[in-house]
Amino acid sequence: MKKIITLAICTIFIMVMLCGCGDTATSKEYAIDDSMNYSAEELSEDSLSDASSKDKALDSRKLIKEFSLSIETKDYDNYITGVRNNVASSGGYIENSNESSYSKLRSFTAVIRIPVGKAEGFTKSVSKDVTVVEKSENVEDVTEQYVDVEARIKVFKAEEESLIEIMKKASNVKDLLSVKERLADVRAQIESYTAQLKSLQNQTAYSTINLTVEEVEREVQKEGYWSGIWNNIIKGFKNVWTIITSLFAFLISAIPYLILISVVAVIIIILVRYFKKRKSNKK
């Protein structure tokens, strides 16, 4: 009887132990799952923060953008007027321009500065209803140079403040002159780097558009193979006709000279015959 009771107690004890182990294992699993979820949340937040920091870094880059446009148009006067109005409405300005004419056809070249946010819209606007012969874009990243110049200005300004404090406490003339000399060098460096920074700020705030406009009698259009051959034949006939008309114009303009040469030649022939007859009569 005692053995049966002892065996029953041992069995109950073992069952209780097994239940406790199961609960512990379950709690551990839950703990592991929670920690895994928490880590995933942390990772997602970290990735989002990294992405946002990258976006901020991209937005903070200092870029110099330059566009080149070569345009052909028949409506030269209206186009140039439209370009000038477009520059004014975009908040930009024409840095320099030049206009010339050759063989009754005019050309216009200009360096135009347009705010960065409106540069692409400006290039699209001036490319409408004309023939775009050539178009290019160049981007230069000057972020490192920009940051370097800013850092140098800060360093030299800090040195300037220190030198001013030292100069106030200078006890003799030699030290005072030495500090003043160094202070003059530091201020010259500050002015130089400040000028560089302003130049970079202007270059990054405004895009440069190099515009070339040519006045043409006929705008160049894209053509197929056979139409290209036909146009070349037509051009050949036009060139021949141009040569003939040029020669005719040359002959017309040369008539006075030809008359003069003919008169001189006739006089020479008459004189030669006269002297020949005179010699023959003497003989």
Cα separation of 175 and 161, whole Å? 16
What secondary structure, in 3-state letters, does the chain show? CHHHHHHHHHHHHHHHHHHHHHHHHHHHHHHHHHHHHHHHHHHHHHHHHHHHHHHHHHHCCCEEEEEEEEEEECCHHHHHHHHHHHHHHCCCEEEEEEEEEECCEEEEEEEEEEEHHHHHHHHHHHCCCCEEEEEEEEEEECHHHHHHHHHHHHHHHHHHHHHHHHHHHCCCHHHHHHHHHHHHHHHHHHHHHHHHHHHHHHHHHEEEEEEEEEECCCCCCCCCHHHHHHHHHHHHHHHHHHHHHHHHHHHHHHHHHHHHHHHHHHHHHHHHHHHHHHHHHHC
Report the pLDDT value the prediction gives residue 48, as an integer from 0 to 100. Answer: 36
Residue 39 has phi, psi (to 5 degrees) of -65, -40
109-129 tens-digit pLDDT:
999 999 988 998 999 999 988
Q: What is the residue-averaged pLDDT of the chain?
A: 78
Amino acid at 30: Y
Amino acid at 45: E
Report the pLDDT value the prediction gives residue 23, as an integer from 0 to 100. Answer: 44
Report the pLDDT value the prediction gives residue 24, as an integer from 0 to 100. Answer: 41
Which of 87-106 are b and which e, b meaning 16 or more Cβ less than 10 Å from the residue's Cβ?
A: beebebeeeeeeeeeeeeee
- Residue range 218-240: average pLDDT? 70
- Reported as a pLDDT band with limits 50, 70 and 90, residue 197 is very high
Which of 7-11, 36-40, 53-57, 241-245 is modeled with the greatest confidence? Answer: 241-245
Cα separation of 128 and 121, whole Å? 11
Q: Between these two residues, 46 and 76, which has the higher pLDDT value?
A: 76
Edge-first strand listing for the sheet containing 63-73? 93-102, 105-115, 206-215, 63-73, 131-141
The alpha carbons of the chain give a radius of gyration, in whole angstroms, of: 45
pLDDT reading at 160 higher than 80: yes
Report the pLDDT value the prediction gives residue 212, as an integer from 0 to 100. Answer: 94
Report the pLDDT value the prediction gives residue 87, as an integer from 0 to 100. Answer: 93
Which of 215-243 are b and which e, b meaning 16 or more Cβ less than 10 Å from the residue's Cβ?
A: beeeeeeeeeeeeeeeeeeeeeeeeeeee
**CB-CB contact of 122 with 89 (8 Å):** no
Cα separation of 3 and 238, whole Å? 129
- Reported as a pLDDT band with limits 50, 70 and 90, residue 22 is very low
**CB-CB contact of 89 with 152 (8 Å):** no
pLDDT reading at 17 higher than 70: no
Among the listed ranges 43-57, 75-89, 237-251, 258-272, which one has the minimum average pLDDT value?
43-57
Query: What is the crossing angle of helices 173-205 and 143-169, to 10°?
Result: 160
- Reported as a pLDDT band with limits 50, 70 and 90, residue 254 is confident
